[in-house]
Structure 1
Amino acid sequence: MATANSNRFDFSSADSAPPKLSLSPDQLSYCHQALKILRAKISNPDSISREFANLQANRMLASDMLLSATVAINSVNYDKNRYTDVVPFDSNRVVLKDHGASGDGYVNASLIKTSSSSSESVSEFIATQGPLPHTLEDFWGMVIQEHCPVIVMLTRLVDNYKTVKCGDYLPAEDRPRGFGNISVKTKWVKTTDTSLLLRNFEVNHKETDDQQPMSVLHIQYPEWPDHGVPKDTVAVREILKRLYQVPPSLGPIIVHCSAGIGRTGTYCAIHNTIQRILGGDMSALDLAKTVGIFRSQRIGMVQTMDQYVFCYNAIVDELEELTAGTDTGASS
């Protein structure tokens, strides 16, 4: 539940099972309509393949990206990028007001939304890379500045091949950890039956101890393979279920993997599509358009065909669960 401060949220009970979403008759109708259309799409895999092939044929080239990312490739900022071919565009990058040695507040992070997004019903995202050891303070500074109530982490710190995928920005369970002028304290940690790691952090600037710290829910899904997809949609949809309760107006949700485009783009597309359907926005059924919009805001969002198909499967699975046991003829 939200507290008196509109940018605070009480995650004290977030470690329990997420409650089942209660849908209005209109929302049930929207979900049934969407299911009918999306089931028909899934039954024609060639059509989905063509959609993704068209997205790939029209994707932005790295050379064009660099023309639109002048701050990211500035020599002062170059080593703040985990991958030099995945950097934020100047037009929608997150700008840190109180951080960044270069004076331009650079962090490899992009604001992501659809044109129909509304702060009342559809979340905005910050898609970002797994922070580097020397950008950890910038990462947490972004959390505070942008009032981000949730961080969704879709990677391990180190993958099975012993390749570092993300800097360790997590505090220990038993003591606070400092990141420059920022203190992060773990309130609780829990592992769910679907292998999600849930953490609740208190975050604040060290010199403002008189102010109430920010409560941040951290959800990590370490079993999602790099460049791949999970074996089923259950855990990914559990993340979404746990975020239904978080009002989009609180602030953008941070989503990251390693580069912040493949797994990150896939989750954002699933979350965004379900929220828009629940709001009656049937343009959300054009997944290719949604991914295209996301790619115009961060290069390469949803990297592979498997990830694109996974979006469809997760959306359908969630709609089927939301409408289970209800009349397909629900009134609108």
Structure 2
Amino acid sequence: MLDMAECEGVVDIYNCEQYIFIHDAILEACLCGETAIAVSEFALTYKEMLRVDSQSNSSQLREEYQTLNSVTPHLDVEECSIALLPRNREKNRSMDVLPPDRALAFLVTTEGESNNYINAALTDSFHRAAAFIATPHPLPGTTADFWRLVFDYGCTSVVMLNQLNQSNSAWVEFLSRSVDDDVITRLFRVKNVTRKAFLSLLGHVNKWQRECGEGRTVVHCLNGGGRCGTFCACTMLLEMIQYQNFVDIFYAVKTLRNSKPNMVESLDQYRFCYELVLEYLDCMEVR
């Protein structure tokens, strides 16, 4: 069908129960085009994507992000029915950012609490399904739910992405490591996020995950979307380089947005993903 669209400029779909699905898939493929970039061509391709066209006063990067927004699913009320239940409303930090029913991470343990809802969505990495759980900062009334989430899903890393003091120099500071019975705590802090500091954070988390048996990673920021999505997307991109030797930032963010439409919620965050890959390839001397 894609060949038909390319050669003839039209596509015929008939006698198909999944008409809408096929139509949307073909439309998306025609809109998005090829977005994967070989590692060896990344630096040159990205430089060209930043070039501003004198007639449109826009860049390919901006247009790609606008296309991403146009194919991002917009959730209907019916798709967030569980988050909108009266008993769950007070568990949402914002009613504007709700997880869809299909991606919800339901709580299992009870401990006297019968409600199994938490505003948290399971999202995939590049090589593993449901590798991340994205959630907003806990509210005073949902702190216990947050730790139930960590326990129920065997999470081995918790990444908090909060507001940073921009006056500090960029660094990752290892603060402490303690062992108490079956609990090992390792605490480090990232100040003033530059690309190198963020790469260092990703490296720390990746190493910790390997040491702890590859459990899930809980990522949380104020709204459980923009910064969470940026962290998850950057992790996926480094996996792409490791396993496939190519990078597809459009695909990574689009995949995350299938679970939460507000993942990577600004052009600046989207561009940061490109810049981080460029920094990583510079460090690895494979550009």
TM-score range, shorter chain: 0.7 to 0.9
Map of 1:297 onto structure 2 = 259
The answer to whether the 8 A contact 1:261-1:301 is kept is yes
Q: What residue ranges of structure 1 are gaps of 5+ in the alignment?
A: 1-31, 161-191, 204-211, 224-229
TM-superposed deviation, 1:213: 2.7
Greater RCO, 1 or 2 (C-alpha within 8 Å, sep 6+) = 1
Map of 2:153 onto structure 1 = 146
Distance 2:265 2:152 in 1: 29
Tell me which amino acid in the other structure corresponds to 1:240.
L
TM-superposed deviation, 1:260: 1.1
- Which deviates more from structure 2 when the two are superposed, residues 45-54 or residues 97-106? 97-106
1:261 aligns with 2:230: no
Map of 2:92 onto structure 1 = 81
Distance 2:244 2:40 in 1: 13
Q: Aligned residues, how many?
A: 240
Find the residue that maps to 1:77 and give its secondary structure.
helix
Tell me which amino acid in the other structure corresponds to 1:292.
K
Equivalent of 2:41 in 5, 25, 36: 36
Distance 2:253 2:281 in 1: 19
Map of 1:50 onto structure 2 = 63
Distance 1:216 1:279 in 2: 30
Map of 2:20 onto structure 1 = none
Map residues 236-315 of structure 1 onto 2, 5 A cutoff. Answer: 236-245=198-207, 246-247=209-210, 250-280=214-244, 282=246, 285-315=247-277
Distance 1:35 1:99 in 2: 51
The answer to whether the 8 A contact 2:173-2:189 is kept is yes
Find the residue that maps to 2:73 and give its secondary structure.
coil
TM-superposed deviation, 1:220: 4.6
- Closer, same or farther in 2 for the Cα pair 1:281/1:198, shift >3 Å? farther
Find the residue that maps to 1:318 and give its secondary structure.
helix
Map of 1:185 onto structure 2 = none
TM-superposed deviation, 1:280: 2.0
Identity %: 25
Q: What residue ranges of structure 2 are gaps of 5+ in the alignment?
A: 1-36, 51-58
Higher fraction of helix: 2
Tell me which amino acid in the other structure corresponds to 1:309.
R
Map of 1:131 onto structure 2 = 138
Map residues 1-332 of structure 1 onto 2, 5 A cutoff. Answer: 33-45=38-50, 46-61=59-74, 64-99=75-110, 103-114=114-125, 116-118=126-128, 124-156=131-163, 194=171, 196=173, 198=175, 200=177, 212-221=181-190, 223=192, 230=193, 232-245=194-207, 246-247=209-210, 250-280=214-244, 282=246, 285-323=247-285
TM-score normalised by length of structure 1: 0.64
Tell me which amino acid in the other structure corresponds to 1:235.
A
